[in-house]
Chain A
Amino acid sequence: RKEVEQDPGPFNVPEGATVAFNCTYSNSASQSFFWYRQDCRKEPKLLMSVYSSGNEDGRFTAQLNRASQYISLLIRDSKLSDSATYLCVVNPNAGNNRKLIWGLGTSLAVNP
């Protein structure tokens, strides 16, 4: 089993749709979690950190389910500019983030 697994997609959705991605991780002791966004041929950029209580930032909501070992990202009211690859990232270490585990990403295309 891969350490971090994501459905590669692509997810093709119309503007205004709600879309959700899940990401599963294998190390139950993992400490912190992130969602990054990566546009084509650009660097990854932090979208959200994922807290145990879940967190929301505008149209984006991240949830953590430790019992089932997955994190999710929900995007409401999708915009064309949301088209990107979304990377799930897991930090298995307490006290530092020296070796993050990166998923391969989920590709999202928002269509007019």
Chain B
Amino acid sequence: DVKVTQSSRYLVKRTGEKVFLECVQDMDHENMFWYRQDPGLGLRLIYFSYDVKMKEKGDIPEGYSVSREKKERFSLILESASTNQTSMYLCASSAGIHEQYFGPGTRLTVT
């Protein structure tokens, strides 16, 4: 079974803090993704990576950056957290054209 893990299930941070969300997959997938999910807006792609050290912007990259130093690990960084970044963050991985597998999500609250 594909396993995607995320570093935290729940996180509370203050405005202006730097936030790191980590994602690890164990299936040697080349593609990894970061989404956020908000009520009424669905899943929105923040960034994705199709290889180590490669990244591409998704639909809403503003305020976020990513890092992929190893194939199995994809990090999402909020340089200076703001209240409008309160959301559910979901990491996913996939191989080629196949389906994406998700981690359990991190519910981030920025106060």
Interface residue ranges, A against B (CB under 8 Å):
31-32, 34, 41-46, 49, 87, 91, 95-100, 102-105
Contact = CB atoms under 8 A, between A and B. Distances in A.
A34 B90 CA distance: 18
A44 B48 contact: no
A100 B58 CA distance: 10
Interface of B: 31, 40-43, 45, 48, 50, 56, 58, 88, 90, 94, 96-105, 107
A100 B42 CA distance: 12
Contact of A97 (B88, B96, B102, B104): B96
A66 to B, nearest CB: 17
Given A97-B96, A97-B97, A43 B42 contact: no
Q: Chain A at the B interface: mostly helix, strand, loop or mixed?
A: loop
Contacts, number: 51
A97 B31 contact: yes
Nearest to B4: A43
Given A42-B104, A43-B90, A34 B99 contact: yes
A73 B88 CA distance: 26
A40 to B, nearest CB: 11
Contact of B97 (A42, A96, A103): A96
A3 B43 CA distance: 13
A91 to B, nearest CB: 7
